[in-house]
Amino acid sequence: MDETRLEQAKEFGATDVVVSGVADWKEQVLALTDGAGVDVAIEAVGVPQTFDMATELVRPGGNVANVGVHGKPVELHLEKLWIQNINISMGLVNANTTPMLLKLVAQKKIPAEKLATHHFTFDQVLDAYDTFSRAAETKALKVVISR
C-alpha cells in the first residue's frame, strides 16, 4: 500500500508493482500474469488480509511463502486451495542463512547499501526506532545502528 516501497521495489528489480489497497488489485495482478496468477506469493506483513491475498494470487502448482509474523489467526481455505496443488511454506528468519547472505553481499549480488537507508549511532537508538516506525513517511527500509 506504500507507493514509496513499490518504487523502491522497482529499484531492486521488480518489473511490475500493484498497489494492494486499490479495489482492482487482484484484477491487475491477473492481467500481468495472463490470468494465471503468480508463481510465488510472499506474505511478509503478518495480517490475515495479506495472507488471504497471497493465497488468492498464487497459480496452480505455485508457492506461497509466509514470512510475516502473525499475531492473529488466519483462515486457510482448503476447500479452494487443495485442487490447486500449491505449496505453502513458512518459518522464522534464523541465522543459518547468514553466511550465504554475507557472501551474496560481499559479491555485490545483494545491494546492502540500498537497503540501509538510515544510519544512527547507539546514542540515537530511540530516533532509529522512531524513524523505522514511520517507514512510510521517512522512506526507511532498514536502519543501521553503529558505535
In eight-state DSSP terms, residue 107 is T
Q: Residue 1 above 80 pLDDT?
A: no
Tell me: do 118 and 50 sit in the same domain. no
Tell me: do 26 and 52 sit in the same domain. yes
φ and ψ at 138, to 5 degrees? -90, -10
What is the per-residue pLDDT across 50-97, written as a single tens digit (0 to 9) for each? 999 999 999 999 999 998 888 899 999 999 999 999 999 998 777 888
What is the per-residue pLDDT across 5-38, written as a single tens digit (0 to 9) for each? 888 889 888 899 998 889 999 999 999 999 999 9
Q: Which domain holds residue 130?
A: 95-146
Rounded distance between C-alpha atoms, residue 76 and residue 136, angstroms: 30
Tell me: do 119 and 73 sit in the same domain. no
Tell me: do 107 and 128 sit in the same domain. yes
For cell 518489473, what's the residue?
A: 15
Q: What is the pLDDT of residue 79?
A: 92
